[in-house]
């Protein structure tokens, strides 16, 4: 065991979204990964039921991506994209535009999903201002939405623990109701039949604030971090119609639904609705190098770029926008996605996945199961007075038994790499089933 696989001091790293005290008292360290598996620092195999954090769609340690990054690092380690350019950033954007839904052709690069969310909101505001509607400053999100951790993302997002520690949010923000309705939709496979009308709440916000004050609506096509909420059939279409009717931009946050997870390149394709702006990250580079992106329609790009005075048109960007190593990883990753038809693989195994996760119905404390693409949410009845405790214990039992799951509140969220095969699905479901039973005993 070397020093990397076994650190002797865990103090300095202030871990993100983690219970630092309990983790450092009893650490779980992943030292390496390959294909569908992680290996702990004591070399225990752990099946990856979450593609890292919804991001390693092509599986771990893909040679093609590693080699592309190595090669690029030796040719051009870094070059600015402010008033300068380098070829591979343009190539990555063009390659991404090829697989984006028709109508989304322009790509702005960021380094994460959070930056993508804030970038999309800023582009929406800049667009309206450029076309003489500077009063459209209001941003509409949705209860339980997750758009990362920037101030834009947490303001428009609707997850209260992510907001209440930090005081003031952005002004001029309002929220649609969430779509979680277990009284109507518990144990639905795929899109629930009930709830398309929940999109009509946008008419209420329009009546309250005036359509001409609203810049954009941002939603996740399938909400992930809140514990997997699949949109009711027809809901997103209705939202699209209302946004178009009122001149409001529709932003899809596809940070987790992009790059094959829904059985198509993007959730928009699967769900049959094209937004005006789309945020991405994670699967874009198979998570090998951090990178995010915002795709915009030609009308939005032209509106901002042609509608601005000569000089810089959008006062926004990151030192690492279009970073050469990230661009190389993105191209290699999109090439792999196409060569191995990862969206097609996800679609082909989805019926098996769906049947397998729904077989957990009837286990003690399982109150709902939902799925879409290669995503599943298993909602547990929380322990009285101890929210999250049951799920955290199930998580630890799974980890001890060689399976990585993710939990949020008392909900288990699963999102395995798209290269998953049926024996892996069986192993995920068996391990989780044992953990849920053991926790009830």
In the bound state with ligand PLP, the residue whose beta carbon lies nearer, of 148 and 195, is 148
Scanning 87-95, 108-116, 185-193, 390-398 for contacts with ligand PLP by CB under 6 A, the matching segment is 108-116
Residues 6+ apart with CB under 8 A from 224: 54, 146, 256, 257, 375, 413, 415
Query: Could you say which of 120, 281, 376, 413 contacts ligand PLP (CB under 6 A)?
Result: 281
Contact (CB, 8 A) for 282 and 112: no
Interaction between residue 255 and ligand PLP (CB under 6 A): yes
Mark residues 192-221: x for contact with ligand PLP by CB under 6 A, - for none: ----------------------------x-
Stretch (H or E) spanning 307: none
Max Cα separation, the chain? 69
Q: Which of residues 326-355 bind ligand PLP (CB under 6 A)?
A: none
Q: Which of 65, 216, 256, 293 binds ligand PLP (CB under 6 A)?
A: 256
Of 158-166, 237-245, 249-257, 264-272: span binding ligand PLP (CB under 6 A): 249-257
Identified binder of ligand PLP from the candidate list 49, 59, 101, 113, rule CB under 6 A: 113
Q: Specify the 3-state DSSP secondary structure of 289.
A: coil
| Cβ 4 to ligand PLP shortest distance, Å | 24
Binder of ligand PLP out of 81, 188, 225, 327 (CB under 6 A): 225
Stretch in the footprint of ligand PLP (CB under 6 A) among 106-114, 265-273, 331-339, 363-371: 106-114
Please report, as residue ranges, which positions from 375 to 394 form the binding site for ligand PLP (by CB under 6 A).
none
Question: If DSSP codes are grouped into helix, strand and coil, which group holds residue 375?
Answer: strand
Task: Using the minimum distance from each CB to ligand PLP, give the nearer residue, 220 or 354.
Answer: 220
Query: CB of 218 within 8 A of CB of 117?
Result: yes
Do the bridges between strand 30-34 and strand 37-40 make them parallel or antiparallel, or are there none, so unpaired?
antiparallel
**Cβ–Cβ under 8 Å, residues 108 and 301:** no
Among 148, 258, 373, 417, binds ligand PLP (CB under 6 A): 148
Pairing mode of beta strands 292-297, 277-280: antiparallel
E-only strand ranges, 95-168: 104-110, 138-142
End-to-end CA distance of the chain: 37
> In this chain, which stretch among 110-118, 203-211, 302-310, 415-423 interacts with ligand PLP, using CB under 6 A?
110-118
Kindly list the distances between the CA atom of residue 221 and the CA atoms of 30, 46, 224, 414, in Å, as whole numbers in the listed order.
Answer: 31, 30, 9, 17
Does 117 participate in binding ligand PLP (rule CB under 6 A)?
A: yes
Q: Interface with ligand PLP by CB under 6 A: which residues? A: 112-114, 117, 146-148, 220, 224-225, 253, 255-256, 281
């Amino acid at each position: 065991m070397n020093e990397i696989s076994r650190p002797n001091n865990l103090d300095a790293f202030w871990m993100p979204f983690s219970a630092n005290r309990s983790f450092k008292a009893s650490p779980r360290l992943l030292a390496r990964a390959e294909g569908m598996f992680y290996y702990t620092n004591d070399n225990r195999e752990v099946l990856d039921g979450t593609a890292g954090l919804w991001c390693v769609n092509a599986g771990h340690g893909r040679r093609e991506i590693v080699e592309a990054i190595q090669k690029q690092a030796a040719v051009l380690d870094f070059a600015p994209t402010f008033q300068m350019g380098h070829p591979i950033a343009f190539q990555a954007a063009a390659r991404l535009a090829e697989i984006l839904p028709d109508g989304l052709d322009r790509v702005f690069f960021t380094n994460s999903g959070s930056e993508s969310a804030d970038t999309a909101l800023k582009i929406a505001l800049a667009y309206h201002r450029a076309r003489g509607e500077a009063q459209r400053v209001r941003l509409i999100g949705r209860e339980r939405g997750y758009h990362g951790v920037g101030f834009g993302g947490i303001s428009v997002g609707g997850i209260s623990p992510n907001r209440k520690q930090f005081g003031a949010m952005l002004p001029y923000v309002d929220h649609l109701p969430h779509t979680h309705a277990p009284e109507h939709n518990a144990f639905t496979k795929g899109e629930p039949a009930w709830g398309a009308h929940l999109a009509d709440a946008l008419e209420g916000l329009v009546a309250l604030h005036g359509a001409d004050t609203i810049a954009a609506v941002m939603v996740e096509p399938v909400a992930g971090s809140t514990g997997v909420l699949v949109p009711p059939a027809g809901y997103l279409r209705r939202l699209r119609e209302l946004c178009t009717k009122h001149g409001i931009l529709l932003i899809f946050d596809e940070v987790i639904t992009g790059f094959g997870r829904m059985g198509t390149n993007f959730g928009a394709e699967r769900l049959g609705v094209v937004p005006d702006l789309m945020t991405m990250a994670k699967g874009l580079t198979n998570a090998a190098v951090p990178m995010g992106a915002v795709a915009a329609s030609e009308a939005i790009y032209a509106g901002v770029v042609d509608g601005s005075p000569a000089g810089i048109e959008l006062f926004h960007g990151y030192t690492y926008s279009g970073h050469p190593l990230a661009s190389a990883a993105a191209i290699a990753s999109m090439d792999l996605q196409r060569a191995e038809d990862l969206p097609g693989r996800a679609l082909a195994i989805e019926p098996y996945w769906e049947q397998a996760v729904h077989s957990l119905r009837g286990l003690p404390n399982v109150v709902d199961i939902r799925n879409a693409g290669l995503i599943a949410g298993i909602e547990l009845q929380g322990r009285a007075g101890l929210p999250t405790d049951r799920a955290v214990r199930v998580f630890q039992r799974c980890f001890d038994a060689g399976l990585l799951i993710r939990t949020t509140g008392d909900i288990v969220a699963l999102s395995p790499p798209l290269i998953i095969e049926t024996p892996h699905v069986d192993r995920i479901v068996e391990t989780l089933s044992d953990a849920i039973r053991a926790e009830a005993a």
